[in-house]
């Protein structure tokens, strides 16, 4: 498809640098211009309607046309369009939101620090972990452990936590002080014949060995998404977190739970920590916190961390950290309204009432010739594509098989996301059972066409 001169597409190519996009390919194919939203659908500038099978970027929990969130933003704009939280300033929606989040928290928490994105939240959590250990007289505790295939963001520190090659390559990352341990994906990394619990033990042993090699008194914190979403929907095996947390306690290492995707109902509980039994010291949240209608994220810290942070800021004279727009009144007002909607509509029970349909539909792809593994929890899931179901061999990445599925899905009115070899589903939580069926019907057509394309010799052509 050629890009018309002077069209909005041509102007995009001329002036916009896109995240997570191949800039060379983009110059040829141009952007997909999304114009409007309607429930779980988005509509492009040619009037085509797409089911947003990924809720945007795992975030638009209430779909794309929730009037109450628009009204909340407008009301707040009229009252106080901006104020900050520096130097002890505050405003009512920030206070109310902090109270509400502490009430909802899966473990007792003390304070909420406002930021604007998941990356900023995780960056802040790292800084607070360092500040904490310095404050309690353990200045050597500086190393942070994350996991291979984790996703925690893209700032220098959070991209270092992220365990995906394209977030490091040519960015000169990860920084030192950040280490990666085993990824708990049984399907891909278990030894032949190894059951899930034995695999979980091996992952925990690997963590302990890493801590011992590095020196327990040099390790500050361990980061975990309860379910690792962007790495390909990695559901940890039973007993994994029990074993991991016992080791963290043993070596006095903080547990930081990244609830940026799992938070607010996605896994069938309010938080992924509840679904998987995590008891963190620090929690980061974003995305569904405001149903993505405003950029907002938070770091929540427990009393143990807070009291050390408090003492250090008292000694130094300030907490030398903060973002101009952290706790922005419009964002906090929209997040508060989002939480009200979740409560009134009992979003957790709604997710529970449809997640059976979602998961059984997902598992029904297991018989597809391209699908090696179908996995998920609650209203999030992924299909891992393989070229050989028995050997689990992956496709040559240069063939772009998962991307091809994504392109075919678009033709059938479905937006999904290919992440590595996986096709991901994480629709707005307001999706109905009938819409789940329609989403999977479109996905199946895309997979069938991709299979036919492969059978027709596409790999030879690509080679
Ligand atoms: N943490 C997790 C688990 C995420 O999935 C993401 C983004 O997808 C982030 C952090 C980073 O959030 P942001 O893109 O808002 O910086």
Q: Does residue 350 sit within a domain?
A: yes
Q: Does residue 123 sit within a domain?
A: yes
Q: Are residues 52 and 158 in the same domain?
A: no
Q: Are residues 339 and 350 in the same domain?
A: no
Where a domain ends, among 292, 312, 344?
A: 344
Q: Are residues 247 and 390 in the same domain?
A: no
Q: Are residues 195 and 269 in the same domain?
A: yes
Q: Does residue 421 sit within a domain?
A: yes
Could you tell me if the CB of 152 is within 6 A of ligand 1? yes
Q: Does residue 427 sit within a domain?
A: yes
Q: Are residues 366 and 405 in the same domain?
A: yes
Q: Does residue 298 sit within a domain?
A: yes
Could you tell me if the CB of 123 is within 6 A of ligand 1? no
Query: What pLDDT, on the 0 to 100 scale, is given for residue 463?
Result: 45
Q: How far is the CA of 454 from the centre of ligand 1 (A)?
A: 33
Q: How far is the CA of 191 from the centre of ligand 1 (A)?
A: 30
Where a domain ends, among 279, 310, 344?
A: 344
Q: Are residues 303 and 366 in the same domain?
A: no
Q: How far is the CA of 268 from the centre of ligand 1 (A)?
A: 20
Where a domain ends, among 321, 344, 367?
A: 344
Q: Which atom of ligand 1 is nearest to the CA of 259?
A: 3
Q: How far is the CA of 269 from the centre of ligand 1 (A)?
A: 19
Count CA atoms within 13 Å of residue 308 on its CB side: 18
Computed on alpha carbons and rounded to an integer, the radius of gyration of the chain in Å comes to: 22
Q: Does residue 335 sit within a domain?
A: yes
Q: How far is the CA of 124 from the centre of ligand 1 (A)?
A: 13
Contact 48, 413 (CB under 8 A): yes
Query: What pLDDT, on the 0 to 100 scale, is given for residue 459?
Result: 64
Q: Which atom of ligand 1 is nearest to the CA of 117?
A: 15
Q: Are residues 160 and 283 in the same domain?
A: yes
Query: What pLDDT, on the 0 to 100 scale, is given for residue 1?
Result: 62
Contact 13, 27 (CB under 8 A): yes
* Helix (H) or strand (E) run with residue 381 in it: strand 380-385
Could you tell me if the CB of 167 is within 6 A of ligand 1? no
Q: What is the CATH number of the domain that holds 436?
A: 3.90.1150.10
Q: Are residues 45 and 148 in the same domain?
A: no
Domain count, the chain: 2
The residue whose CA has the least distance to atom 12 of ligand 1 is: 118
Q: Does residue 76 sit within a domain?
A: yes
- pLDDT tens per residue across all 463 residues of the chain: 689 999 999 999 999 999 999 999 999 999 999 999 999 999 999 999 999 999 999 999 999 999 999 999 999 999 999 999 999 999 999 999 999 999 999 999 999 999 999 999 999 999 999 999 999 999 999 999 999 999 999 999 999 999 999 999 999 999 999 999 999 999 999 999 999 999 999 999 999 999 999 999 999 999 999 999 999 999 999 999 999 999 999 999 999 999 999 999 999 999 999 999 999 999 999 999 999 999 999 999 999 999 999 999 999 999 999 999 999 999 999 999 999 999 999 999 999 999 999 999 999 999 999 999 999 999 999 999 999 999 999 999 999 999 999 999 999 999 999 999 999 999 999 999 999 999 999 999 999 999 999 999 876 655 4
Domain span at 184: 68-344
Q: Are residues 227 and 364 in the same domain?
A: no
C-alpha distances (whole Å) from 339 to each of 96, 225, 317 are 11, 21, 35
Instruction: Give the residue, out of 126, 261, 293, with the most ligand 1 atoms within 8 A of its beta carbon, to mutate for a pocket test.
Output: 261
Q: Are residues 176 and 188 in the same domain?
A: yes
Q: What is the CATH number of the domain that holds 85?
A: 3.40.640.10
Q: Does residue 10 sit within a domain?
A: no
Q: Are residues 329 and 380 in the same domain?
A: no
Distance between CA atoms of residues 282 and 278, nearest Å: 11
């Amino acid at each position: 498809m050629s890009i018309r001169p002077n069209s909005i597409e041509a102007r995009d190519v001329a002036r916009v640098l896109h995240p997570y996009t191949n800039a060379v390919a983009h110059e040829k194919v141009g952007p997909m211009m999304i114009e409007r939203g309607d429930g779980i659908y988005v509509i492009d500038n040619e009037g085509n309607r797409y089911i947003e099978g990924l809720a945007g970027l795992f975030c638009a929990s209430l779909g794309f046309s929730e009037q109450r969130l628009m009204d909340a933003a407008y009301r707040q704009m009229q009252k106080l369009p901006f104020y900050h939280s520096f130097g002890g300033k505050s405003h009512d929606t920030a206070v109310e939101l902090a109270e509400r989040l502490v009430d909802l928290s899966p473990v007792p928490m003390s304070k909420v620090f406002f930021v604007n994105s998941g990356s900023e939240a995780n960056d802040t959590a790292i800084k607070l972990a360092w500040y904490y250990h310095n404050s309690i007289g353990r200045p050597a505790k500086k190393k942070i452990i994350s996991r291979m295939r984790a996703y925690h963001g893209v700032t220098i520190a959070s991209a270092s936590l992220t365990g995906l090659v394209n977030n490091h390559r040519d960015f000169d990352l990860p920084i030192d002080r950040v280490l990666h341990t085993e990824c708990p994906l049984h399907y891909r990394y278990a030894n032949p014949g190894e059951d899930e619990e034995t695999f979980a033990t091996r992952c925990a042993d690997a963590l302990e060995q890493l801590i011992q090699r590095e020196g327990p008194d040099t390790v500050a914190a361990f980061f975990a998404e309860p379910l690792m979403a962007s790495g390909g929907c990695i559901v940890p095996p039973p007993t994994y977190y029990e074993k991991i947390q016992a080791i963290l306690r043993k070596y006095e290492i903080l547990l930081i739970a990244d609830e940026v995707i799992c938070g607010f109902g996605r896994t069938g509980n309010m938080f992924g920590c509840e679904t998987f039994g995590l008891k963190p010291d620090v929690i980061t949240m974003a995305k569904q916190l405001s149903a993505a209608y405003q950029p907002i994220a938070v770091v929540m810290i427990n009393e143990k961390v807070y009291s050390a942070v408090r003492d250090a800021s008292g000694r130094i004279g300030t907490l030398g950290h903060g973002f101009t727009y952290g706790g922005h009144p419009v964002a906090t007002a929209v997040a508060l309204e989002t939480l009200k909607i979740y409560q009134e509509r009992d979003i957790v029970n709604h997710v529970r009432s449809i997640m059976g349909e979602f998961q059984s539909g997902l598992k029904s792809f297991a018989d597809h010739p391209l699908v090696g593994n179908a996995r998920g929890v609650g209203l999030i899931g992924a299909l891992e594509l393989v070229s050989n179901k028995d050997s689990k061999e992956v496709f040559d990445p240069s063939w772009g098989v998962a991307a091809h599925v994504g392109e075919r899905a678009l033709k059938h009115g479905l937006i999904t996301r290919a992440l590595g070899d996986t096709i991901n589903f994480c629709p707005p939580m307001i999706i109905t059972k009938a819409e789940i069926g329609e989403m999977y019907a479109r996905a199946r057509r895309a997979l069938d066409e991709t299979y036919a394309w492969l059978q027709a010799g596409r790999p030879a052509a690509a080679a």
